[in-house]
Amino acid sequence: MHPEVKLARQSTINIVLNEEKNKSVIGREKRVESHSAAPFQRIDQYFSKVIGLEDLKKQIKEIYAQVLVSEKRQELGLKSNLQVLHMIFKGNPGTGKTTIARMVSELFKEVGVLEKGHFTEVDRSDLVGEYIGHTAKKTKDVIRKALGGVLFIDEAYSLARGGEKDFGKEAIDTIVKCMEDHHDELIIILAGYPEEMDHFLTINPGLASRFPIQLDFSNYEAVELLKIAKVMLEDREYCMTKETERRLYLHLYRMSMRPGANFSNARYVRNLLEEAIRKHAWRIICGSNLKKAALMTLEPDDFSECLHQDNS
């Protein structure tokens, strides 16, 4: 190869690399500048349809702000001091854990923390194998597919339920090892019910320090559950009469005040509405009123006996 040709190719490579580097820096600068005027405008858009969870929204904003400030510091030649973003979500069923996790993946892709921003949801069955060595391979495969995005492990405490000889422990060890090998390539979120997750962290003390961000998802209040019901119905182009709304609120209030962790919050509301829509369809077909208003409006009789019991 002629020396001048070799030199020309090296120059071309250097130019391309410099251009890509400049594009990366410019892209990061534009990202930070776009958030500087209204830093939480984008995150507020994401949260606009999320009812309640005000304390949790504030915590997500704090994490989001730290990411933006870290990028600005890096731009000015300061240490970025980016914290580990692996998280633990603790909350009862239907409190929005999966929904918020999806938002995290999208938001952190936008600010450049995650390369792809895709969302991978798994549980014990996706990680734990049937024989020695199988679990490590399954877990590594899952993590490899999740690189560049968020890995959401639901009911994470189930990995420790089988005792010392259970393969779930091998999954935990593999996850910890992969977190070290790919510490800035993905965000892992462990999720589950509060008491079970607290116990899980107690018997695996090394995990807590690796998941410094722990977010609590509180149960919804009756007013919030009613708002959730209205949003769900609006998305399906249904509505309720005032009397139906009043009775539904009373029922949700009674259910949300019951002791114990069996109430499934927004999931319960969704199941209640789906049953009401089925009963509404039966009532309409058995009747003669097929006008638009009738096809959209839920009456107290469309719900199960629970609304009548709460009204007595």
The predicted pLDDT at position 3 comes to 46
Q: Do the Cβ atoms of 190 and 89 come closer than 8 Å?
A: yes
**Burial degree of 285 (CB within 10 A; 0-12, 13-18, 19+):** exposed
Domain 222-311 annotated CATH 1.10.8.60:
yes
Phi-psi region of 148 (alpha: psi -120 to 50; beta: other; left: phi over 0): left
Q: Phi and psi for 52 in degrees, rounded to 5?
A: 75, -155
pLDDT bracket for residue 9 (50, 70, 90): very low
Q: Do the Cβ atoms of 97 and 221 come closer than 8 Å?
A: no
pLDDT digits (tens, 9 = 90+) for 210-228: 998 999 999 999 999 999 9
Domain residue limits, the chain: 38-217, 222-311
The predicted pLDDT at position 240 comes to 97
The predicted pLDDT at position 225 comes to 96
Domain covering 38-217, topology: Rossmann fold (3.40.50)
Q: Do the Cβ atoms of 108 and 213 come closer than 8 Å?
A: no
Instruction: Summarize the confidence of residues 127-156 as an average pLDDT.
Output: 94
Instruction: Summarize the confidence of residues 61-83 as an average pLDDT.
Output: 84
Distances (CA, A) of 117 to 42, 72, 146, 255: 16, 21, 9, 37
Specify the pTM: 0.80
CA-closest candidate to residue 91, choices 176, 162, 190: 190
Instruction: Summarize the confidence of residues 32-55 as an average pLDDT.
Output: 74
The predicted pLDDT at position 52 comes to 86
pLDDT digits (tens, 9 = 90+) for 286-309: 998 899 999 999 999 999 766 766
For 85, other C-beta atoms within 10 Å of its C-beta total: 22
